[in-house]
Amino acid sequence: MKKKIEFVRPDYGIIYPDNQRNVNINIYRILSLFTLIFLIIYSIYVFHTFYTIAISANALINAFIFTVEILIGYYSILLFYHLARGFSPINHPLTGRFNSENIDDDNNLPFISVMLPIYKEPFKIVKQTIYAALDINYPTDKYELVIVDDSEQNDVLEVFCKDNGLRYITRDNRKGFKAGGINNALKYIESEFILFIDADHIVERNILKNCLLAIREDTIAVQTRIDFVNMRTYLTSIAAFLQLQFFSLYQRARRPTGSAIFAGGATLFNTKILKSFNGFDPLTIADDTDNSFIFRANGYRIEYIDIVGAWALTPWDPLHLIRQIWRWLTGITRSFRARVFTILRGKSPLYVKIDHFSVGFFPTLSILGWGIAFIFIYLVRNDIELVRSPLLNNTILGISVMIISTLSIITGTLAIFLDDKRILLHKKNIFYKIYVILGFYLLILAAQPLLIGAIFKAWTGVKVSFNRTPKEKKTDDNLSKVMRQYVVYTSVVFLTGLLFLYYALSIPLSDARSITLLISAYAGILPLLIALAWYWKLEGYLDKVSDLTAIDVLKEHALDS
């Protein structure tokens, strides 16, 4: 397609990696100092508590409970250190062949394939994505758009591609799901680099040049950040916050060490290096995270540039949001099970190993944290003491441990408020942002018991299929059936929550077990209430919500760039 379709959307320009926003060595030093203080205080508490447990009765039960507790505590400290690292400058020279002086020289630019893998995506959204990809600030004879369609039959899109001179690649099976489709398409790709985009991505015009500026000899990929636009309801705003934390906190922290996690799209890959791995390993349905572990363990960098590379949509309804999280956690845990020794023995630095290990293990750890409530019931029924360090009676240490236990919430909140002001969430007022942040943490807490099945299947090796997350307002015809199944499942969780509540009310609030049981009760009771509410009003809700594509929102904010 030779003609260019001009989109009105924010233009962030070409930003050399050394000039990225939110790099501040003083903030990095201050936050790192606090991290060290938290680490020292918490370690004193941990070692003293284990000493106390060792000379007490029922040591094994208490040791297990406390082990899970301290793993969560240290993970929270790690999160805070991630926040600090997000302000650290890149600690290595930019020695790639592309720089601010030659990036506008068309003769110096490589040929790039922009690859769009899709599966049963609505044509109205895909078409907008295609038009945006054809409006990239890059010489038209230096890049091509390749549609990789895994749908059984998509005559409308195939005819559209044929009429407009776009490459259209399909196959007669779905082996390996998305990764398999990409690997099949790689056989026909000759370009030096490949930019992967998702079906709902409206790419920023300068994405290719911004990615090229971060390329160096040992770089396999450059990941840009993704912004989320359909914050038209409380739910979609919470979903956007979930996604933005991934970029605002985790990905920014990985920037100095080149250890970013491939986010599935808005990512530029070195074709030759990717082909040397025979493409993407399709082991799990979270193939992007899984292959990130593999690439970094083999010594290749995945750079992260904190520049919006694409705008995308979040799920419109709670059912598909939970199913999306379910798919992530299943795939990540399956990857951890298969790659844990690859991560630990790999060529990556110690920080990267700790980070990637924590990514893979945290879904399991969060479920263990919820499951401790069952052990607490046993302790209450048998009048067994919950051992805690006497040091907690010290006011300063007690307050410090309490702060550390809430560090994940503090860190996530700070990450967003200190983030790039051009992100669309910052268009909302401060009260709405606080409202969204509160809802996010309450929803994530309540979602934990719903994800037990995901973790169980991953650890037991049960194969699961890749189910796309609908990005359009109208979902599939089986929505009501799935919602009924959701109500049945949450009914079991609800009964468990009532059990936790019963035992929580039977012991004093001053007992540490009471707080855990109350939190677990909340996590068990709320899912059914949400399920019932959405079961009765979901169709009406979807009818009222305006169905929009990313471009509709971007037009509203184009003048703000």
Comparing 199-203, 207-211, 345-349, 556-560, the range with the smallest average pLDDT is: 556-560
Beta bridge partners of 226: 310
In-domain check, residue 192: no
Evaluate if residue 56 carries a pLDDT over 50: yes
CA distance 270 to 279: 11
How confident is the model over 436-460, as a mean pLDDT? 85
Task: State both tokens at 299.
Answer: 């010594």
- 71 CB-contact burial (10 Å; exposed 0-12 / middle 13-18 / buried 19+): middle
pLDDT in tens, 223-233: 999 998 888 78
- Judge contact between 456 and 367, C-beta under 8 A: no
Tokens standing for residue 522: 């909340």
Comparing 201-205, 237-241, 321-325, which segment has the lowest mean pLDDT? 321-325
* 353 in a structural domain: no
**pLDDT of res. 323:** 79
Answer whether 221's CB lies under 8 Å from 268's CB: yes
- Identify the pLDDT of residue 1: 46
pLDDT band (50, 70, 90) for residue 152 = confident
DSSP label of 507: S
Quote the radius of gyration of the chain (alpha carbons, Å): 24
**Pairing between β-strand 219-228 and β-strand 193-196 as defined by DSSP bridges:** unpaired
Rounded to whole angstroms, the Cα distance separating 214 from 176 reads 30
CA distance 226 to 203: 9
Q: Which residue has the higher pLDDT, 311 or 466?
A: 311
Among 73-82, 145-154, 443-452, 543-552, the least confident range = 543-552
Q: Which of 370, 386, 390 is nearest to 507 (CA)?
A: 386
Our measurement of the distance from residue 334's CA atom to the centroid of its chain's CA atoms, rounded to an integer in Å, reads 16
pLDDT higher than 60, residue 518: yes
Task: Please give the pLDDT value at position 17.
Answer: 62
Q: Tell me how long the chain is.
A: 561
With contact defined as beta carbons under 8 Å apart, do 223 and 197 qualify? no
pLDDT higher than 60, residue 558 = no
Lowest-confidence segment of 3-12, 249-258, 458-467 by average pLDDT: 3-12
**Most confident stretch, 112-116, 118-122, 531-535:** 112-116
- 155, part of any domain: no
Question: Could you tell me the CA-to-CA distances from 19 to 14, 136, 140 in Å, in that order?
Answer: 10, 22, 28
Structure-model confidence comparison of residues 425 and 91, the more confident one: 425
- Structural domain contains residue 178: no
- Mean predicted confidence (pLDDT) in 70-78: 93
CA distance 432 to 428: 6
Confidence (pLDDT) at 484? 75
Number of domains within the chain: 1
Range of the domain at 498: 474-544
The arithmetic mean of pLDDT across residues 65-82, rounded, is 92
The pLDDT confidence band at residue 14, using thresholds 50, 70 and 90, is: confident
Q: How far apart are CA 352 and CA 335, in angstroms?
A: 16
Inside any domain, residue 507: yes
Q: What is the dihedral of CA 317, 320, 325, 327, to 10 degrees?
A: -170
Residues 6+ apart with CB under 8 A from 497: 449, 520, 521, 522, 523, 524, 525, 526
Asked if residue 243 is part of any domain, the answer here is: no
> What's the rounded mean pLDDT across residues 177-188?
90
Three-class DSSP labels, 390-426: HHHHCHHHHHHHHHHHCHHHHHHHHHHHCCCCCCHHH
Q: 419 or 376, which is more confident?
A: 376
Give the mean model confidence (pLDDT) for residues 357-383.
Answer: 91
Q: What is the pLDDT of residue 2?
A: 44
Query: Does residue 531 lie in a domain region?
Result: yes
> Which of these, 23, 11, 59, lies nearest to 311 by C-alpha position?
11
Q: How confident is the model at residue 457 (pLDDT cuts 50, 70, 90)?
A: confident
CA distance 73 to 55: 23
CB 116 within 8 A of CB 133: yes
Residue 374 lies in a domain: no
Residue 183, amino acid: N
CB of 235 within 8 A of CB of 473? no
Half-sphere exposure of 372 toward its Cβ, with a 13 Å CA cutoff? Answer: 25
pLDDT tens sequence across 293-348: 999 999 999 999 988 999 988 887 777 788 788 888 888 999 999 999 999 999 99
Residue 289 Cα distances to 242, 261, 283, 367, 544, angstroms: 17, 6, 11, 20, 36
- What's the rounded Cα separation, in Å, for the pair 209 and 137? 8
The DSSP code for 548 is: -
User: What is the pLDDT averaged over residues 538-543?
Assistant: 61
Of the listed ranges 40-54, 183-197, 386-400, 459-473, the one predicted with least confidence: 459-473
Mean confidence (pLDDT) of the chain: 84
Alpha helices in 150-299 (DSSP H): 155-163, 177-186, 207-212, 234-245, 252-254, 271-276, 287-297
